[in-house]
Amino acid sequence: MIQVANYTKSYKAAIAVSDLSFEVLPGQIMGLLGPNGAGKTTTMRAIAGIIPPTAGQLLVAGRDVVAQPVEAKMHLAYVPDDPHLFEALTVWEHLRFMAAAYQVAEFEPRALHLIEHFELTEKKNTPAQELSRGMRQKVAICCAYLHRPEAILFDEPLTGLDPRGIRTMKESVRQAAAEGAAVIVSSHLLALVEDLCTHFLILHKGRRLFCGPAGEARSAFAATGDASLEDVFLRATETPAA
């Protein structure tokens, strides 16, 4: 569902991501990990079609993100770490706008379900400029789910959420994967990633250190059987392979 082949992104002399390849299949939840500057957000923004690759190919649901940008984005949702909403639009108007953009017919029942599920019912007619940070995050998540995307990208999705919101968010990701979506979650909250993700992709200085099922990460870096993801992550990124 998400295929990245030999992806490279450079800015003049600086290489942000180098020759990166991986794929996320339907039903998989990929945890995208790496220190600051590893190339995580750059990779997600390229898959979302926001920045062009310097080299390589990126496919979403079989559509080339560069050659078929509209077709690819119709199957994709991207929630950045700091979603920019339309300040003057209400919560409901955001969902109505997304329904029009993605050509979602009879969107109201699903939109109402999402608003209720993410505890935004009382804020349905509230402009975005009056919402808290956590509520704005919830609006962005609802908008992402509205058109039932087959590929979903989350960059630090728990920012601003309270404990109940965190639980709802995690449940929604699992449900989306169970329905066949391919999901990428980028976060520095390793406990979240360990609890939620079926696969890991670890980047360091723009290069892939590991990509595979969660259960193989420990053996890949000679970690003990009871090692946490934090242990694995630190072992991987503090002594990266040449």
Per residue in 113-157, pLDDT tens? 999 999 999 999 999 999 999 999 999 999 999 999 999 999 999
Return the CATH superfamily for domain 19-83+149-238: P-loop containing nucleotide triphosphate hydrolases (3.40.50.300)
User: Cα(23)–Cα(3) distance, rounded to whole angstroms?
Assistant: 4
What mean pLDDT value characterizes the chain?
93
Note the pLDDT of residue 241. Answer: 47
Residue 168's H or E segment, with its range, is helix 163-178
Predicted model pTM: 0.93
Q: Which residue has the higher pLDDT, 73 or 82?
A: 73
Least confident of 23-32, 54-63, 170-179, 188-197: 188-197
pLDDT digits (tens, 9 = 90+) for 36-52: 999 999 999 999 999 99
Pick the closest to residue 92 from 64, 68, 123 (CA basis): 123
Residue 111's H or E segment, with its range, is helix 108-117
Percent helix, strand, coil in the chain (nearest 5)?
40, 25, 35
pLDDT band per the 50, 70, 90 thresholds, residue 81: confident
Residue that has been written with the tokens 């050509």 in this structure: 103
Q: Quick check: 34 and 237 in contact, CB under 8 A?
A: yes
Instruction: Name the residue type at position 48.
Output: A
Domain ranges of the chain: 19-83+149-238
Tokens, residue 44: 């997600």
